[in-house]
Structure 1
Amino acid sequence: MVTFPGVIRSGSEAKLCVSLLKPEENLQLTISLVYSNQNRTLLQERTEKEFHRCLDFQAPDSDSVQEIQVEAQGENTHLIKKRKVKFISYNPLTIIQTDKQIYNPGQTVQFRIFTVDLNLKPIDETYKLVAMQDNRMNRINQWINATSTHGKILQLSHTLNPEAAVGSYELFVETSKQTIKEYFQVKEYVLPKFDVKLHKPKTVRANEEEVKLGVCGRYIHGHPVQGNVKMGLCKTMPVGIYYPYQYHTPLCVNRIAVLNETGCVSEMFPISFFIRSSEVYFMPQSLHFTVSVTEEGTDISMERTENVFLTYTIGSIKFIDLPEFFEKGSVIQAKVKVEFSKGTPFPYFKVVVQHDLSQPQELTTDINGLAHFIIDTSLAISTSIYVSAYASFTSQVGSPFIFESAFKTLQIKSKESPEKASQLVIKSLEEPLKCEEEISVTVQYTIAGETVESGSVTIVCLVSSREEIVYNGYKNIEVKGSDGVVEGEVMFKVPVRARMAPKMEFLVYCVPPSEIVLAASRTFQIEKCFENKVSLQFSPTTAVPGEENTLQISAQPGSLCGLSTVDQSVRIMESGKHLDADKRFLVKKTLYRSQLSLVHCVASVL
C-alpha cells in the first residue's frame, strides 16, 4: 500500500509512505512518477520481507497532474497500479498593514507592505505599483517599482489634506503575480475615553425562561466607568409572505441600570417574550443585544451591539438498545429516549417510531423519558431495515420547539456474520492540542469474522498537516481467538509542532487477513502557536504622559520585527481590525485554500 497527499506543492520536498504487507515471494517493488510517457523512479527495491517506510522526493517545479505508479514483480506476481497526484504552486501572500484603520483629515497615514511565503516568512519583493485613492477613486499618491528599504518590509506614508473628503480610501498594490487592496476610513472623530464590553452566551434555546446579559465599562487606563446603562434585546422578524404584518415591527425588551463599583452590571431578559407559536417553521434567528453606556457627570455615551443566536431545537430523540445487526425472524426489543439539551428526560412526550416492517407506532415516554418498542423481523424482505423516530404531530401542534429526530439502518446478519463489525475507531482528545508536546492517540480496533486461527495485522498511522505527511508509525497486533472477534487498542505517540497548527489529520488503516481495508480518520485542532517566540515588555509597565519608557523586544536571532504604536483609544474604534494570531492563521488558510477540499484526499495503491 502506498499513501500520499492528493495535492502536493510544486517544487517542495514531498513525502509518500509505503507498506509492503506479507509478501508471499521475493518481489521487485518499483514506485515511479509518470508524466508524458516519462518515468522518474522514486523507489526500487527487491525484498521478501514486510516493511513500512516513508520516503522523501522532490516535487516537480511546474504545475501538473501526474501519476504515481506502483509495480510489484515476482516469479508468480506482476501487478501495476496507478493513481493521479496534482502538483500545484502557490503565490506568496502580500499584506498591507496601516498603523490604524481610521484617520482625521490632515493626519499622516503610515503603512507597510510585506510579502510572506507558505511558512509566513518574509521574502524579497518588488512592487510594480503602490497607489492610494480617495473616496471618489482619485489617485492621490503613487510609488513605482518600490522595494523594501528596511529589511524585507516596505514602509511608506502619506499625509492627508486637511480638507480631505471623508469616506473610504483605498491602498492598491500590484506585484508581478497579484493585486492586493486594503481600505481605511477618513472621518472627523474624537477619541473615546472608555470601552464597553458585552457579556452574553453565543446561543440561547427557546425553552429557556431567561437569559443573563451583562456589560462592563473600562477607561483606557483600566479603571471602571461609573454611569448609567440602557440595554435592549430585540428580535427582528424577516419581511415575507409567511409573516403577518404585525411581526415586521421588532420585538424588544429594554432595561435601565446603573454600573456598580466594578464598572459592570447584569440583567435578566425573558426569552418567552420572543416566542410566537404561530411562527412558520420556527427558523433560527438572532436576537440583537444593544447597550448604551453614559458616563456619569459628562453625558458621554458609548454604544455596542452584538447578536445572540436563538434556536428552537431544545432536545433530541435517541435509540437505546437498538442493535447494528439482526437475524431474520428475530424480535428486536429496543427503546427511544427523549431528553432536553442538558440531558434532562422529557416525560409523557409523544414520539413516533417508524420502520419498513409495520405501520408507524405512536408511543408516550414514561417518567424517565423512555418508550419501549419492538420490531418483528420475520417480514423482512431486504438485507436492511431503516428505522426512524420523530416527534408526534400532536406533540408539535402549537409548540415552537423542535427535537432532533433519530435515524438508524439495521443490517441483516447471515449465519457467517459476526456479532460485531470490523472497524477502527480513533478516540477523542481534549482540544485544542498544545504545541511542543507529545500526545498519545488511542485507536480501538475490532477484527471480526476472520477465518485464520492465528496471525498478525499491522495498524499503520499517518499524520498530515498543511498538505504534508509529518508523522508515521505502525503497531502489530495478533489476530486469533475462538470467538472470531479480536478487540483491543493501540496507542501512537505523536509530537505536536508549531508548524502543524492550526490542525492535523490523523489517519489509521490496516489490512486484516480478509484483505478488506479498514480505515479511520480524525481531525484534531491545535492551538494557534508559532515557531518564533516573541516577547515585548515596557519598563516601567505604567507611566504618566511625558515620562520616558523603555521597550524591549526578544525574538530568535535574525528575526524581522515590525513595530507600530497607536493610542489605545483608536483600537476601541477599530475593534477586531488589527493583525493578530487569528488573522495570521486566516492568512495560512488563504495560502492553502486551493488544497483544502483535497487535503483529505489520500490516494492508496494496493
Structure 2
Amino acid sequence: MYKPGHKVQFRVLVLDPYLKPSSLNRIDVILKDGQNNRVKEWKRMEATKGVFSNEIQLSPNPVLGDWSIVVKANGKDQVKKFTVAEYVLPKFEVSVDVPQHATYANSTVPVTISAKYTFGQPVKGEATIKVRPQYTFFKEEVQENSKVIKADPIGKTEIDVVHALALEDNQYYERTILFDVAFKEDLTGKVLNGSASLKLHHARCKVDFQKIVDFLTPGEMYKTLLKISNWDDTPYEGAKNTPVRVRYGKGWADRENAPWRDYQLPLSGLIELNFKTQEETEVLNIEAEYMGVSAYDTVVKKQKEDCRNSSSLDLVVLNDRPKIGDTVEVDVFTKGDAVFLSHIVIGRGVLTEAKTKILSEGQHTMRLKIPITPNMAPFCHIVLVYITNKGELVAAEKEIKVDNVLCNFVCTITHMRYT
C-alpha cells in the first residue's frame, strides 16, 4: 500500500517458458489509477536481459483506490495491482483474562494479557496492570498497586489480590475486584485500555441443597441432594479426611440438639441424603456443614390443597456439564403406581433416544445412563412419562447442557517397521 506523495518503484521480468530472459525485449507498460484512467504509458521499452525497471512519484492528492500496471508483450497482457490510500494506524483490542472467582484463602490468580489488531495479527507491547475493588467500605484504605509486564505477543503473570490491595477478610460480603490494564504498543507507543473482573469470596466452596421434591410426606422417607462445588460450579476437591456433617430436626431447636451425621465427599460433589419422617412430622429443618461453610434447608408437608395429585415424577441429572462421548446419569424418583416408565431424549429438534423400562413392585427409584452424542450438543432435553392405573399422565422434563461442542480430535496410528 502506498500513501499520497510516495514513490512507486516497479520492475518487469520478461521470461521464456524455461524461466530464462526472453529474446523478446520490447514491451509496452501502462499505469492506471483507481478510476481506470491512464496516468502514464511507456511504449516499446527495452527489457535489457529480460528486465525493465522504472518509478513514478505520486502527487499529494492522487486518486485513491486500486491502481494497476499493465504490461503488454507478444500479444499477452499481465496486470499487477497496488493500493493507494490514506494510511491510518491500525486499531487493536486489548484482552484481559482472569478467573471468574477467587477466595481469600486462595487469592493468587493468573492474569493473561494479549492484544490483536482488527485484522487479527497480535500486537507486541507493554502492559501496566492495576488492581482495585469495585466498591470500598466506609473509611477503608486500599493499597495502591501497579505491575508492568511484557506482551510478546502474550503476557502472563500472577497477582495475589488480597496482598496487593491489603484487604481484610470480610465474612459477610463477596467483593468484585477489577483489573485495569493500559497496553502500550511497541511500534507506535499508542496506549489502549482493557479490563476484567472477578468475584472474591470468603468461603472456599459452595454448599447448597438441591431439592428433589418440594414437600415431605409424613411417614415416608424424604430425599434431597447436597451439592458441594467450587464457585464456578465444578466439583470441589477437598481434603479426604474432612467429612461433610449433616443434622436435622423437626424445627430449629430440635435440629440444634440433634447429633451430626458424617458423609464422605464423592468426586461428583453430590451427596444423596435420606431422612426418615414420622406420621406427625410437619416440618424438617436441615443443616449441612463442610470446612466451615454451612447451608440450611427447610421443607414442610403438603397442605390439603396440594394433595390432589398422589402421583409425582422427579429427576436429577448427576453429571454437571457432560461432554460428547460421556455417559450422563439421571436419577428418577416416582411416587404412585408407576409400572412402565418411558423416557425420550431430544437434541436439535430430533429424537435421539426413546426407551421404556419396567419397574418392579415397590420400586420408586431408577438410575438411567444416557450416552451423549454429537446430536445432543449444545443442549438436549430428557422427558420422562408414565401413566397411572387411573389413566393419569405424569411427566417431567430436564435440560442437559453439553460442553466442548466444537472440540475435535485426531487419532494417528503408526507401525514400528515404518518408523
TM-score (norm 1): 0.36
Greater relative CO, 1 or 2 (CA 8 Å, sep 6+): 1
Q: TM-score, normalised by structure 2?
A: 0.49
The higher radius of gyration belongs to: 2
